[in-house]
Amino acid sequence: MRSGVRAVVALVGVFNLMLGLGFLIDPAQAGLRFFLASLGTQGLATMRADFTAFFVTGGTFALIAAWRARRAPLLVPLMLLGVAIGGRVISLIADGAPGKAFMPMIAEAVMIVILAFGWRYFEDEAAR
């Protein structure tokens, strides 16, 4: 079971790395997939910096956790995704619930569940 959990946690990591690299290489196109448009070069720079940082950091720590089968690195992507889905919930309350609002939330929730399984099945550093 642990090998399967490692594999799906690694898939979450690779998925997030690819999203992050998409923002690094072509932030305008990647932004459109997230319903974002940049305002000039500074907007592109912000998308390239912030979204790349979010996805590459979360993906890297998920991959580290999967590689080592250790739970501590999962705190990073779990917190990033938890804050993101929390922001989406606040947005639903403040701005309403368009039909397109739920697919990103479902994707984030699925990743959180996968990473939580990793937390459950991976070892704690203190247990070594």
Using a cut of 0.85, tell me whether the model's pTM lies above it. Answer: yes
- 30-84 pLDDT per residue, tens: 999 988 888 899 999 999 999 999 999 999 999 999 999 999 999 999 999 999 9
Domain hosting residue 93, numbered range: 2-127
And the tokens for 33? 């997939």
Strand partners, 123: 70
How many structural domains comprise the chain?
1
As a whole number of angstroms, the distance between CA 117 and CA 119 comes to 5
Q: Rounded distance, CA 54 to CA 115, Å?
A: 16
* Rounded CA separation 111/115 (Å): 6
49: left (phi over 0), alpha (psi -120 to 50) or beta: alpha
